[in-house]
Amino acid sequence: MHELWGDNDIWDEKTWEVIKNAFVDSNPRSRIIATTRNSKVSEEIGKVYRMEKLPESQSRKLLYTRTFVAEEKWPGNNDELAVVSQKILHRCDGVPLAIITIGSLLAGKQIEEWSNVYDSVGFGNGDDRHVNNMKKILSFSYYDLPCHLRTCMLYLTVYPEGSRINNGELIYRWIAEGLVQTEEGKEPFKVGESYFLELINRGMIQPVEHYGFLNGCRVRDMVLHMIRDLSRDENFFAVQDSKWSQGSDVRRLALHRVEHIEVNDRDVPKLRSFNAIWCVTDNIPPVSRFKLLRVLSLVGCRPLEGHLDTEFLGKLLNLRYLELLDTPIRELSKEIGHLKFLQTLGLTGTGVEELPTSMKQLTKLMCLLADDKTRVPDWI
């Protein structure tokens, strides 16, 4: 038996039509299990198994564990807080993600604020009532964030669904984009780290640990869909998984698995962040004409033949963050020395063995990521 595991739900019938064509309908022992929150999609797939909602006792335990942590702080049966929480649980209707999200929102709030939360979170009707309810709870949790955390949250739209996001990489991105506020006596990275931990504490992102140490996060698919919608509405970040066709006001662009990158500086004259993830390209020269670019990230990009030439980097004078991850490069151009504002340079998986001496001119550099085979000279 072969098992295929994935982190993402199927959101519409069209997606399922594409996926099912990859399977051969001839082996009676084969089984495909798909997850979705859309009832119409489940009916299209075939036999439907509907997840049971949590019983009242487990729902209450989940809410109190997320909100109060210590069991001795849980309210009694006749406590005013218990009465309000019962109303909130009734609205969550046994959906674990809804309970966890609203529990994170309530943590640390006074009892009178609990009632305000209950009154403020509206709920919808219809076939996908649970989905509508979740969207409203998540939206309310998002708007409860301070403004600077909302912006940092929207920035997570750059990553594909199911991504494991490294916390250091994310924080350095925030810094490069100017999303981290300066605080007297604190290093920018420490301030950004406090943002990251706050988003975890509020239940907006899921922590990821390695050998017991926090080193990253994941974004739940429903949360990612919500912030992508918000990001598009606010013209904060544009995500494209096919040929680029958006307008000229875009400031941040992410291309996911796009074949043949065709982005012209005349199309996006205000572009500040260009991200290509698992794309196929025969050249990157157009990027050199994005004069305002602060972030350039090429992850898993493959040229049609040969290696990518890095001569164009010297023209991106405003660049703060440069990531060339798992992208074939013969050598790093000496033109890199022209990037006076560069703060982060990532070269993991590129094959670069020697660093040019012109890197001595990068006086703003805070972080250098490279493989063991990259020889780092003493002057760095």
Q: What is the DSSP string of 197-247?
A: HHHHHTTSSEEEEETTEEEEEE--HHHHHHHHHHHHHTTS-EEESSS----
Q: Which residues pair with 218 in a beta bridge?
A: 206
pLDDT digits (tens, 9 = 90+) for 62-115: 888 888 867 777 777 657 777 888 888 877 777 787 788 788 778 777 777 877
Among 35, 50, 65, which residue terminates a domain?
A: 50
Estimate the crossing angle of helix 147-154 against helix 221-233, to 10 degrees.
Answer: 110
Among 143, 173, 191, which residue terminates a domain?
A: 143
* Mean pLDDT estimate for the chain: 81
Tell me how many degrees the CA angle 185-188-194 measures, rounded to the nearest 5. 95
Domain with residue 112: its CATH number is: 1.10.8
The answer to whether residue 229 sits within a structural domain is no
The answer to whether residue 380 sits within a structural domain is no
379 or 214: which carries more pLDDT confidence? 214
Do 287 and 336 belong to one domain?
A: yes
Do 283 and 206 belong to one domain?
A: no
Of the ranges 2-16, 49-63, 126-140, 157-171, the best mean pLDDT one: 157-171
216 or 91: which carries more pLDDT confidence? 216
Predicted confidence at residue 57, as pLDDT, reads 86
Do 275 and 242 belong to one domain?
A: yes
Predicted confidence at residue 285, as pLDDT, reads 45
Q: Which residues pair with 363 in a beta bridge?
A: none
Do 166 and 205 belong to one domain?
A: yes
Do 289 and 352 belong to one domain?
A: yes
Closest residue by Cα to residue 217 from 236, 237, 201 = 201
Do 308 and 347 belong to one domain?
A: yes
C-alpha count within 13 angstroms, C-beta hemisphere, residue 2: 5
Whether this prediction's pTM lies above 0.85 is answered by no
Do 168 and 45 belong to one domain?
A: no
Name which of 25-34, 192-201, 229-238, 281-290 the model is least confident about.
Answer: 281-290
The answer to whether residue 228 sits within a structural domain is no
**Rounded Cα gap, residues 301 and 280, in angstroms:** 6
Percent of the chain whose predicted confidence (pLDDT) is above 90: 30
Q: How confident is residue 170, by pLDDT bands cut at 50, 70 and 90?
A: very high
Q: Which amino acid is at 80?
A: E
Do 304 and 280 belong to one domain?
A: yes
The answer to whether residue 344 sits within a structural domain is yes
Closest residue by Cα to residue 328 from 360, 302, 355, 298 = 302
Query: What does R_g of the chain's alpha carbons equal in angstroms?
Result: 24
pLDDT digits (tens, 9 = 90+) for 85-96: 888 887 777 778
Do 188 and 242 belong to one domain?
A: no
Do 301 and 348 belong to one domain?
A: yes
Do 255 and 293 belong to one domain?
A: yes
CB 109 within 8 A of CB 102: no
The answer to whether residue 232 sits within a structural domain is no
DSSP 314: G
Do 280 and 156 belong to one domain?
A: no
**Rounded Cα gap, residues 361 and 341, in angstroms:** 10
Domain that holds residue 172: 147-222
Name which of 10-14, 29-33, 122-126, 261-265 the model is least confident about.
Answer: 122-126
Q: Is the pLDDT of residue 360 over 50?
A: yes
Domain tally, the chain = 4
The answer to whether residue 230 sits within a structural domain is no
Q: Is the pLDDT of residue 241 over 70?
A: no
The answer to whether residue 377 sits within a structural domain is no
What contacts 206, CB < 8 A, 6 or more positions away? 200, 217, 218, 219, 220
Domain with residue 192: its CATH number is: 1.10.10
Q: Is the pLDDT of residue 7 over 90?
A: no
The answer to whether residue 375 sits within a structural domain is no
pLDDT digits (tens, 9 = 90+) for 311-357: 888 889 999 999 999 988 878 989 999 999 999 999 998 888 999 99
Among 165, 191, 222, which residue terminates a domain?
A: 222
Task: Report CA torsion sign: 75, 79, 80, 83.
Answer: positive
Tell me how many degrees the CA angle 218-319-296 measures, rounded to the nearest 5. 45
Closest residue by Cα to residue 261 from 246, 247, 282 = 282
**Rounded Cα gap, residues 312 and 308, in angstroms:** 10
